[in-house]
Structure 1
Amino acid sequence: MNNGLILQAPIPKRRRTMPHGCSYKEFWSCKPIEFSGNEGPIAALRWIEKTEAVLKISKCAEEDKIMFASNLFKNAALEWWNTILQSRGSDRVYNMEWE
């Protein structure tokens, strides 16, 4: 007998979702690795794999992926990136899709 009370299961809490992705601080807290461009092809593939994992874990918005990942470049990779930005234009480059 429930004396007129309706028993309800507890409402599960919703996970916090960010409608516009993560902040750069949240991205950085997932510990992405920097890339200098002179480590060789295997290291480049590992960098891409690690960066893609961090982008996914941090729930990075599609429109931020290029900007966040390119901030991991240093030395020769950063010089190459700056050449790409100058030749193609930063607006065009930062609007590319990660794929």
Structure 2
Amino acid sequence: MELTMDMLAQLMTRVVQDRMPGRQGEGKTIERARKLRATDFEGTRDPTDAYSWMDQLEQVFGMMECTDDQKLRFATFLLKGRAHHWWRSVQLRYGDPTTITWANFLQDFFDHYFPVVYQDAKQSEFLRLTQGNMSVEEYLIKFIELSRFAQLIVGNERAKCRRFEEGLREIAMRTESNLGEFDKREPRRPKRSNREWTVGGPSNRN
């Protein structure tokens, strides 16, 4: 069965909801976001810390069902200290801050806080990713985590769904291949005719 974009979106939504506390429909405010464990970000030299903050924030946004404009407002409000000063310099570079989109913010954030070497390593990890021994949900979480580093490869939902499905197929293909190899290695024993056997054992009749 071919995986559709709607099916992948539903899986992503279910995973986010399962991992977040509270209820939906309680308003889209910064107070609500903080209740769902959205935290301030003051900048870091450790890509892992930056990733953890963004990952948590996107889970919160998924739970709140935020629009891209709301994501941009909430995320930039949570930038403090050095991170806030960095964002001010980004706004100056754009000239007109009202033209900045959520996609722009993500790109600038990743370019600044994730060195090229780190991004390349994550992209390579994404390209090697298959379901393996993971459950579908575990595979989906890992897929979402790494796909952000491979936007040139899965830059649209159709490409993302196709790559996700290929990772699912990989385990099935390997299983079929292994079974085929086993069949080749296992010698087939010739069947004996019932007439060659007696109650006491094999017959010695010519």
Question: Shorter-chain TM-score: what band?
Answer: 0.5 to 0.7
Q: What residue number does 2:88 align with?
A: 82
The structure where helix makes up a greater share of residues is 2
Q: Is the deviation greater in 68-77 or in 25-34? A: 25-34
Q: What whole-Å deviation, never above 9, does each CA across 1:42-91 have from its counterpart, x for those lacking one? A: 10010110011111111112221111111111111110001111221210
Larger radius of gyration: 2
Show structure 1 runs of 5+ residues with no match. Answer: 1-15
Number of residues paired by the alignment? 82
Root-mean-square deviation (CA), in Å? Answer: 2.5
Q: Within 2, Cα distance between the matches of 1:96 and 1:50? A: 16
Whether 1:92 and 2:114 are equivalent positions in the alignment is: no
Partner residue, 1:28: 34
| Structure 1 residues 86 and 52: CA distance shift in structure 2, 3 A | same
CA distance in 2 between counterparts of 1:48 and 1:38 reads 12
Between 1 and 2, higher relative CO (CA 8 Å, sep ≥ 6) is seen in 1
The SS at the match of 1:55 is helix
**TM-score normalised by the chain length of structure 2:** 0.35
CA distance in 1 between counterparts of 2:53 and 2:97 reads: 23
* Matched AA of 1:62: D
Q: Which amino acid in 1 is paired with 2:44?
A: N
Structure-2 residue corresponding to 1:7: none
Determine what percentage of the aligned residue pairs are the same residue.
Answer: 21
- C-alpha displacement of 1:38: 2.2
Instruction: Give the residue type in structure 1 aligned to 2:99.
Output: R
